[in-house]
Structure 1
Amino acid sequence: MAIILPLLVTITALLAAGIYYRLAFVLLDPKRNKPLRHGRRNPNEPTHLMIVLGSGGHTTEMLSMLTRCVQESDPAQKLHWNDYHHRTWVVSEGDNLSAARAKEFEEMASPLSTQEDLMAGKVRKATDIGPGTYEVVTVPRAREIHQPLLTSPLSSLTTMRACWDLLQKHTTKTREGHGGQAGEKDAPDLILVNGPATATIMVFTSILLRFFDVKGVSTRGKMRTVYVESWARVKRLSLSGKLLRRVVDRFLVQWPQVKREVGGRVEYLGVLVQ
């Protein structure tokens, strides 16, 4: 017993140190790999954008920001929608309105990007890549309205399981030790969220996948995360913002006083909704 106890303490300390080091590497490494590819417009290396919608105000703000980005006249701030060959829209179960609005946005944005390429003389790029593909995927709600708090952990775990499966839905085998199979959809390169509970669970699920480097998602720089705090948060962060502030790759707020209050890695780029 005198030997076993110190041995167990040593093993526990080593495990704790290993977990801490791995988490620090996954979450805090300023040089975290960008997705390994040879340009967004390479048809052999499809890019994958995932957008998590909430309901009501969250969906309205997200679509407002995206609309502003794709219609932006400044090339430095413009989002070329078709640069992302595949887009996955995530909505909560029963949120038919958000699903419908995501489809409406695709019908607006995809032809717009292709038309701009053609007008700019980029016929080859437009015809090689085209509008890309998209899907609207439903996951269970993390918490229903008026749901008792005691049952919330169970429903959140159900949501996490669905997010775990969804994040791996398009994960391909690797080639040359790191890159995905040419021409095949791969895990999300970028996950864009703005606050709903489902989005928070999605981000933490992506961290788990990166922690264990499932199918090389961490090695290959997949699942970079961007969080945009709600425009309605004028003075302080939302609960989702507090939970995600230290774990996402970029954290954006829309009011300068929030930036001053929170500090750290928080970025203020002005009001992003239109």
Structure 2
Amino acid sequence: MDQLQFEVILLLLLAVVARLAYMIHKITTGSNLYAPKRSAPCKTAICIGSGGHTTEMLKLIENISFQHYNPRYYFISSSDKTSLRKVTDFESDKSFAINKDYFICYIPRSRAVNQSYISSVFTTLISVFYSFPHFLKIRPDMLLCNGPGTCIPLCIISFVLKCCFICNTRIIFIESFCRTKSFSLTGKILIYIADNFLVQWPYLKIKLKRSEYIGQLL
């Protein structure tokens, strides 16, 4: 590698670091809190966890306009049959919706219950590998997630693509109902990359000024 190639690579790396720092600063200071108004339908990716996470997410989106938020892409763990049934039932029940354009995207679970943090690093990387083609093809306008480890790979991919000017997905994170006084591990990570950070308890709003208190979903 000659001197010129080294300098070009160094400049590119510095540009990437500067872009990452700018995006994180913009998000953490609340400068990116409000999204511009849009007239076209919002292509929406929805991360479905399991158990209570699934119930919370479906409760959150039950009153949205399917006409304005379409198509909808549900990202579900390939082993989570219960959540799959809940999502399909939910979509079927909204028979009054004008637009029922939705898709199911299966991805590997990034972290199982009681799995060690060290081993979860490797399973998360595997999940990122499998999720990336889906996300690159869809390039959603908005990503909704509410706590399960399944959403970490999706948020990382979304943030990286945004930093690279490939897409402009808005990440909206809703902290779990059971988190009344402290943030989940997912929340502690997404504080730095989620455009909107929603909480269900007033105390968490005090802990993170840029968060938005929405009350209890359940």
Query: Which position in structure 2 is the counterpart of 1:97?
Result: 82
Which residue pairs with 2:214 in the alignment? 269
Q: For residue 159 of structure 1, what is the aligned residue in structure 2?
A: 127
1:84 Cα deviation (Å)?
1.9
Question: 1:19 aligned to 2:16?
Answer: yes
SS at 2:110 equivalent? coil
- CA–CA distance in 1 between the matches of 2:89 and 2:25? 37
Indicate the structure (1 or 2) with the bigger Cα radius of gyration.
Answer: 1
Alignment of 1:47-196 (within 5 A): 47-67=42-62, 70=63, 79-109=64-94, 111-114=95-98, 131-145=99-113, 147=115, 149-170=117-138, 187-196=139-148
Give the CA RMSD over aligned residues.
2.7
Q: Distance in 2 between matches of 1:237 and 1:17?
A: 32
Closer, same or farther: CA 269–33 of 1 in aligned 2, 3 Å: closer
Per-residue Cα deviation, 1:88-136 (whole angstroms, up to 9, x for no partner): 0011121011111111111123x3233xxxxxxxxxxxxxxxx141111
Query: What is the distance in 2 between the residues matched to 1:100 and 1:147?
Result: 25
Q: Give me the TM-score of the superposition, normalised by structure 2.
A: 0.84
Structure 1 residue corresponding to 2:174, chosen from 212, 228, 231: 228
Q: 1:136/1:254 Cα in 2 relative to 1: closer, same or farther (>3 Å)? A: same
Q: Percent identity?
A: 32
Q: Output the CA distance in 2 between the equivalents of 1:197 and 1:165.
A: 19
Contact 1:54 1:196 in 2 (8 A): yes
TM-score by length of 1: 0.68
2:158 alignment partner, one of 172, 189, 206:
206
Q: Distance in 1 between matches of 2:178 and 2:113?
A: 21
Is the Cα–Cα contact under 8 Å of residues 66 and 100 in structure 2 kept in the other structure? Answer: no
Counterpart check, 1:239 vs 2:182? no
Equivalent position of 1:176 in the other structure: none
* Equivalent residues, number: 210
Q: Which runs of 4+ in 1 moved over 6 A?
A: none
SS in 2 for 1:85: coil
Q: Which residue of 2 aligns with 1:125?
A: none
Shift of 1:34: 5.3
